């Protein structure tokens, strides 16, 4: 999560600056036990046929508030996959 520049880590919570670069973002709904399946589907259905490669920067999940209680234990998150163009590999 983004924090203000003047916020310091306290030993319980750590901070790190993520390297800049492109990310592919997929909004997913899944249960806690299906998180890895959501990532696998994102990579298989979008990354594999795309002209992009997985980059070695960290990827991330940004969880969103759920406004529909009928979804039960469903989570909603933006899966942020660090990518690079295939041409940057040469």
User: For the chain, which residues make up each domain, given as ranges?
Assistant: 23-89
Query: What's the count of helices (H) and strands (E) in the chain, helices before strands?
Result: 1, 4
Note the pLDDT tens digit of each residue in 16-57: 878 889 999 999 988 888 889 999 999 999 999 999 999 999
pTM, whole model, 2 decimals?
A: 0.76
Nearest to 14 by CA among 26, 32, 23, 1: 1
More confident residue, 15 or 84: 84
How far apart, in whole angstroms, are the C-alpha atoms of residue 29 and residue 88?
32
Largest Cα separation within the chain, whole Å, is: 49
Mean of pLDDT values over 85-90: 68
- Predicted confidence (pLDDT) at residue 88 exceeds the cutoff of 80: no
Arithmetic mean of pLDDT over the chain: 85
Q: What number of residues does the chain have?
A: 90
């Amino acid at each position: 999560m983004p924090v203000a520049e003047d916020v310091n880590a306290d030993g319980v919570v750590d901070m790190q600056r993520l390297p800049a670069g492109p990310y592919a973002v997929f909004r997913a709904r899944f249960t806690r036990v299906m998180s890895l399946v959501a990532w696998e589907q994102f990579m298989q259905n979008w990354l594999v046929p795309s002209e992009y490669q997985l980059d070695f920067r960290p990827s991330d999940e940004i969880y969103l508030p759920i406004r529909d209680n009928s979804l039960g234990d469903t989570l909603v998150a933006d899966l942020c996959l660090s990518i690079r163009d295939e041409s940057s590999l040469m």
